[in-house]
Structure formats: structure tokens, C-alpha cells
Amino acid sequence: MKLIKYYIIVFLMVPASLIFAQSENSFVGAETCGMCHKSEKQGQQLSIWQKSAHAKAYATLKTAEADKIAKEKGFKTAAVETAECLVCHASGYNVDAKLLGKKFKVEDGVQCETCHGAGSAYKDMKIMKDEKLAVKNGLKVYEKVEELCVTCHNDKSPTFKKADFAELWKKIKHETPEKK
Ligand code: HEC
Ligand code: HEC
Ligand code: HEC
Ligand code: HEC
């Protein structure tokens, strides 16, 4: 009887733990994504991102200008220590350290995994080559680019400048060459 109960409990726990594991993917860092996304053939995503404002979004919070904005907003902490600023300027600052891979750097600001989802479960070649499988393993792709951008480029940003998303996208797009 005891054994049966045990099996029932285990049976009930399996699906829950699977769902849990999905949401617990860890961040591998832009450098890891860049291993396969830097060549000309792949589309040079790594260097395009490195040159973009997004790669500097965390550094921006360490400036005197940022601290001034945080103070004016009524925050008592430095901008770089304020969750209400980090929410759009970084990834990984608010997750368990267990979920941060060795190569992950919060200093990388708005990085690959900020937009595409934590990559530990989809970064392997076999999975990456199959878009459906990658998405099942946590990769985020977007039908309309704008639906992603507006999550940060909105009037909750203290320095918000209304912009045309097609123009913004031109500045950061990083497509694979066949699709250009
Ligand atoms: C082991 C090599 C490898 C690594 C590491 C890797 N990728 Fe990929 N990725 C690929 C390949 C191969 C493709 C599919 C072929 C293509 O479209 O270039 C791909 C496709 C993609 C796509 C396009 C999916 C689609 O079909 O629309 C995105 C987005 C992407 N990767 C993001 C990432 C991110 C973010 C990371 C880091 C967390 C990462 N990749 C790590 C090899 C890799
Ligand atoms: C600010 C958000 C953002 C960041 C940062 C970002 N991407 Fe993307 N990425 C997108 C969007 C939006 C698309 C286009 C829609 C899609 O394919 O999902 C895209 C498309 C891609 C594609 C598919 C290209 C194609 O032609 O199908 C790859 C591969 C990719 N990103 C890899 C990366 C890698 C690697 C990094 C980091 C070096 C990165 N991205 C950083 C938002 C981002
Ligand atoms: C996670 C939040 C976040 C998302 C999502 C995001 N951005 Fe940004 N973006 C920022 C931050 C923060 C800055 C300011 C970085 C800095 O200057 O330090 C920025 C700056 C930029 C800039 C440079 C400033 C400018 O006006 O020219 C461009 C271009 C840009 N983003 C394009 C995009 C596009 C296109 C998308 C959607 C595909 C997008 N961003 C999605 C947070 C985000
Ligand atoms: C809703 C998302 C969001 C939040 C919250 C946010 N930012 Fe930003 N931040 C952005 C974006 C997007 C940009 C790019 C320029 C723009 O359109 O505002 C940016 C740009 C900046 C810049 C560069 C200004 C410029 O004109 O180049 C500074 C400094 C800055 N933010 C500081 C802060 C501080 C300090 C906080 C917290 C009090 C904060 N941000 C909260 C999204 C955000």
C-alpha cells in the first residue's frame, strides 16, 4: 500500500518537474551564442550586437547622468543597483546565481538572451537547427519585431523618445544572409 502511494506521488510529480525545468533554463552569455553566430556566413550577429547601444545598456546605468535620473525619480539607490532601471537595461540581475553560466555577464546589458530567452536548453547545434524544437526549448522568436521592442521602448523609460520601429530595427537587425 505504501509503495503504491509512493508511485502515485512520483507519477504526479514528473510532469510538474518537467514544466519547472523548462522555466528554469539558465543564461549562457552572449559569448556562447557568438561561437556560432559570428561568421559572415551566419550573419555576424555577435559583432552587430557588440556595436549596438544594447551592449552598453548596463554601462549606461553607471553614469552620473543615470544616477541623476534615478534620483529625480525618487530612488535612493544608484541607478545600476535599482531594479526599476535594470528591468530594461540588463538580464540575469534578478535570478538565482545557479542560473548564470560561467560566461554570462550582467555587464553585457541587453544581450542575446534578453530577447531570445535563456539559452541552456536550446543552444546545442542539433536543437538550434530545428526552429520548432528550439522554440520548444525556450528560444523566443518574433513574428512582428515591434511587439518585442515596445516592451522596453515605451514611456516608462525616463528618457523615452518616440521612434519609428522600422528605423530602430534597421540599426540593430542581424539577419542570416539568405534572408536579407
Ligand atoms: C552550436 C552552435 C550554436 C550556438 C551555440 C547557438 N546557435 Fe543559434 N543557431 C545555430 C544554427 C546552426 C541555427 C540555424 C541556422 C541558421 O538559421 O543560421 C541557429 C538559429 C538561431 C536563431 C534563428 C531561429 C529561427 O529559425 O528563426 C536564433 C534567434 C538563434 N539561433 C539565437 C541563438 C542564441 C540567442 C544563442 C545563445 C543562447 C544561440 N543561438 C546559440 C547555431 C547555434
Ligand atoms: C533587442 C533584442 C535582440 C537582441 C539583443 C538580439 N536579438 Fe536576435 N533577433 C531579434 C529579433 C526581433 C529578431 C527578428 C525576429 C526573429 O527572427 O525572431 C532576431 C533575429 C535573430 C536571428 C534570426 C535571423 C534570421 O534571419 O532568421 C538570429 C540568428 C539571432 N537573432 C541571433 C541573435 C544573437 C546571437 C544575438 C546576440 C549576439 C541576438 N540575436 C541579439 C532581437 C534581438
Ligand atoms: C530589454 C529591453 C529592450 C528591448 C526588448 C529592446 N530594447 Fe532597444 N534599447 C534598450 C535600452 C535600455 C537602450 C538604451 C541603451 C543605452 O543607450 O545604454 C536601447 C537602445 C536602442 C537603440 C539605440 C538608441 C536609438 O534610439 O537609436 C536602438 C536602435 C534600439 N534600442 C532598437 C531596438 C529594437 C529595434 C528593438 C526590438 C527589436 C529593441 N531595441 C528592443 C532596451 C531594449
Ligand atoms: C521601460 C524600460 C526602461 C526603464 C524602466 C528604464 N529605461 Fe533607461 N532606457 C530605455 C530605453 C529604451 C532607452 C533608449 C532611449 C529611449 O528611447 O529612452 C534608455 C536610455 C537610457 C539612458 C540614455 C539616455 C540617452 O538619451 O541616450 C539613460 C541614462 C537611462 N536610460 C537611464 C535610466 C535610469 C536611471 C532608469 C531608472 C530610473 C531607467 N533608465 C529605466 C529603457 C528603460
Output the ligand 4 site: residues, CB below 6 A.
Answer: 60-61, 65-66, 69-70, 73, 75, 79, 82, 84-85, 87-89, 152-154, 156-161
**CA geometry: angle 16, 20, 21, nearest 5 deg:** 120
Q: Quick check: CB of 51 below 6 Å from ligand 3?
A: no
- Choice between 25 and 4, residue whose per-residue pLDDT is larger: 25
Between the alpha carbon of residue 109 and those of residues 31, 56, 61, 73, 112, the distances in Å are 13, 6, 10, 21, 9
Cα–Cα distance measured from residue 60 to residue 67, given in angstroms and rounded to the nearest whole number: 10
Q: For residue 23, what pLDDT is reported?
A: 59
Count Cα atoms within 13 angstroms, Cβ side, for 152.
18
Q: Three cell numbers at 107?
A: 555587464
Q: Which ligand is nearest to the CA of 175?
A: 2
Which residues make Cβ contacts (< 8 Å) with residue 90, sequence separation at least 6? 57, 58, 61, 106, 109, 110, 114
pLDDT (mean) for 29-49? 97
Query: What is the spatial distance between Cα 84 and Cα 75, in angstroms, rounded to a whole number?
Result: 9
Distance 167 CA to ligand 4 centre (A): 18
Q: Is the pLDDT of residue 154 over 90?
A: yes
- Cα-to-centroid distance, 112 and ligand 4 (Å): 19
Q: Lowest mean pLDDT: which of 7-16, 32-41, 55-64, 157-166?
A: 7-16
Cβ neighbors of 177 (< 8 A, separation 6 or more) are: 40, 41, 43
pLDDT at 19: 45
The rounded distance, in Å, linking the Cα atoms of 34 and 38 is: 5
CA 73 / ligand 4 centre spacing (Å): 12
Nearest residue by C-alpha to atom 25 in ligand 2: 175
Least reliable range by pLDDT among 17-31, 56-70, 129-143: 17-31
Q: What is the pLDDT of residue 20?
A: 46
pLDDT value at residue 66: 98
65 pLDDT higher than 90 = yes
Ligand 3 pocket test, pick from 27, 52, 54, 69 with the greatest ligand atom count within 8 Å of Cβ, gives 54
Q: Average pLDDT over the chain, rounded to whole? A: 90
> Would the CB of 115 count as within 6 Å of ligand 2?
yes
- Is the model's pLDDT at 21 over the cut of 60? no
Contacts of 100 (CB under 8 A, 6+ apart): 26, 27, 92
104-148 pLDDT per residue, tens = 999 999 999 999 999 999 999 999 999 999 999 999 999 999 999
Q: What are the cell numbers at 5?
A: 502511494
pLDDT at res. 24: 85
